[in-house]
Amino acid sequence: MKTAVTPLRFLSPEEMETIHRNALRILSEIGMKIDHDAALDYLLAAGCKVDREKRRVLFPAQVVEGAVKKLRKDYAAREAPERMSVRYSHVRFRKEPFQVHTDFTVSAGGYCIFIHDLNGVRRPATLQDTRDALKLVAQLDQIAYTGLPVAAQDVPLPIRQIRMAAELVKHTDKFGGIEALDPFDIEYICRIGEVVRGGREELRKRPILIGYAEARTPLSIDPNMCEVLIEYVRRGMPQSLDTMPNAGATAPMNPAGALALGIAETLGGMVLAYAVDRGAIVTLDVTPSFSDMRTGIFKYAGAERTSLLGARIQMISEYYGCPSGVHGGKTDACLPGVRVGVEKGISMLGPILCGAVGFGTVGHIENAITFSPIQLVMDNEIARYVRRVVQGFEVSDESVNFDLIRRVGIGGNYLTEMETAEGFRDFLNLSPFFGVEPWGSSDEAREARRWEKMAADKVRELLASDVPSPLSPEQTRAVDGIVAEAEARLREQGRM
């Protein structure tokens, strides 16, 4: 199938070099605060300059460049794991052309703490909401990966991440990443992954449920996130340091400065990962945006973010050679409506046209704080629309159908031709959400086709379906046993 393989670029090669050069300057002249003794030891051994009293690390340019060179070499040589789902999308651990990816993936998840339910009520999410959300995701055909669309607030926080990992694997096989908010979580989350994959070595080959560390922008990594990054690397799990520079608040308002700052932070995490294990499986990650000057809120959507995300995709996927997904399908609105459709559609299509391998997380409203099952169904249909947009079509002597054109002739009709009947499903987006209706439709017919009503009806239909667990009874018992063991240990420590 023919497609527009050349992605939309916002940066020239010279501009990408400028971003990289300034990221190196930030790391070498300003540095980062790394608040963790073992991390400081690793970085000192790697050739960085460490001020233990201030917990400050300067990264010489040659050290960072050496790590970048290794990163590119690893991607060119690596065969597996080919991809790993992260919280909001996925990354591909292999070298491939920078292009528009018609096989892009869509991810749900995001760990929202609130739900806007079918009754129109925004409230804290419960364990049943988590299970229902996963049941929906399991049946929606455009969604390839999921973390937790909502995190059950009625589950005690110390055990929540482990319990949520267990719920994820018991209710869907679209395994995505999951937050590890405490190093304690990692052992048990990995053990759950081992049950699913069939052992530790199989989990390393096909990793699931992998969280990642996040920088505390600007230019610092707190002790907890250092522990998370180091522990995952020690276990042989793919890892990155995600950063979220918020232009105007935690980063310069100028997008070039915000992007350079975020690139510097994730490069610092890459150096640390290689310092822990020279054979670490590493990727780079930046999630930049702008601070809304009226509220201080980190904008997940907005016209101005499209070019910033496009530049981010270029830097990570083209310049550094790490094909990756990105935040997309986002809205800053609090309720489904016209604005949501505009922001969702553009923030899905924009990244794909810029070369992202996927986007997520879908189903969100209100700056990714609130999950909506109705919006999840609508996002699934918007994603289908976007997939058809980038699909393109074949052009050849055969596909032109000259013989058919000659047979129908001048003034003929193609509606009754067999080629039309046999081929229209290959070309039309037949989603009922995008039906074509004449002006004369009755009020009742129009109401039945209203997006919010159609989506709500679809949610109820899917929730009424019987979706079997992807795990065997033995695996389910093993997973529940791991959760019980973690709870017992937390009680022994006085944390529950």
Residue by residue, DSSP assigns 77-122 as H--S--EEE-SSSEEE-S----S--TT-EEEE---BSEEE-TTS-E
Tell the residue number behind the tokens 């916002």, with chain if given: 10
Please provide residue 61's backbone torsions phi and psi, each rounded to the nearest 5 degrees: -60, -40
101 within some domain: yes
Distance CA 241, CA 232 (A): 11
State the DSSP H helix or E strand holding residue 138, giving kind and residue range, or none if neither.
helix 127-139
268 token code pair: 């610092």
Radius of gyration of the chain from its Cα atoms, rounded to whole angstroms = 24
What average pLDDT does the structure give for the chain?
A: 92
> Is residue 75's pLDDT more than 60?
yes
Angle at which helix 223-234 crosses helix 183-197, to 10 degrees, equals 30
Which band of pLDDT confidence, cut at 50, 70 and 90, is reported for residue 18? very high
Report the CATH number at residue 312: 3.20.20.480
Global confidence as pTM: 0.93
> Is residue 204's pLDDT more than 60?
yes
Task: For 407-465, write each residue's pLDDT tens digit.
Answer: 999 999 999 989 988 888 888 888 888 887 777 666 666 655 688 899 999 999 999 99
How many structural domains does the chain have?
1
What is residue 447's predicted lDDT score, i.e. its pLDDT? 59
What is residue 132's predicted lDDT score, i.e. its pLDDT? 98
480 within some domain: no
32 within some domain: yes
Dihedral-angle region of residue 390 (phi above 0 means left; psi in -120 to 50 means alpha; beta otherwise): alpha
114 within some domain: yes
Per-residue pLDDT averaged across 206-228, rounded? 93
Which band of pLDDT confidence, cut at 50, 70 and 90, is reported for residue 395? confident
> Is residue 402's pLDDT more than 70?
yes
Task: For 151-177, write each residue's pLDDT tens digit.
Answer: 999 999 999 999 999 999 999 999 888
300 within some domain: yes
User: Residue 467 contacts by C-beta under 8 Å, 6 or more apart in sequence?
Assistant: 135, 138, 139, 171
Distance CA 464, CA 317 (A): 41
Which band of pLDDT confidence, cut at 50, 70 and 90, is reported for residue 192? very high
What is residue 15's predicted lDDT score, i.e. its pLDDT? 98
Distance CA 123, CA 459 (A): 18
Per-residue pLDDT averaged across 251-259, rounded? 97
289 token code pair: 């945006």
What is residue 211's predicted lDDT score, i.e. its pLDDT? 83
19: nearest Cα among 393, 278, 319: 319
Which band of pLDDT confidence, cut at 50, 70 and 90, is reported for residue 113? very high
CB atoms within 10 A of CB 279: 10
Task: For 307-363, write each residue's pLDDT tens digit.
Answer: 999 999 999 999 999 999 998 999 999 988 889 999 999 999 999 999 999 998 899
What is residue 4's predicted lDDT score, i.e. its pLDDT? 66
Tell the residue number behind the tokens 């290794």, with chain if given: 70
Q: Is 247 helix (H, G, I), strand (E, B) or coil?
A: strand
Distance CA 138, CA 160 (A): 21
Q: Which domain holds residue 361?
A: 13-391
Distance CA 445, CA 438 (A): 11
192 within some domain: yes
What is residue 67's predicted lDDT score, i.e. its pLDDT? 98
Residue 430, CA atoms < 13 Å, CB-side half-sphere: 6
436 within some domain: no
Q: Specify whether the CB–CB gap between 215 and 243 falls below 8 A.
A: yes
Which band of pLDDT confidence, cut at 50, 70 and 90, is reported for residue 39? very high
420 within some domain: no
Stronger pLDDT, 392 or 277, i.e. the higher one: 277
Q: Specify whether the CB–CB gap between 65 and 55 falls below 8 A.
A: no
Helix residue ranges per DSSP H, 327-427: 338-353, 373-391, 397-400, 402-408, 418-427
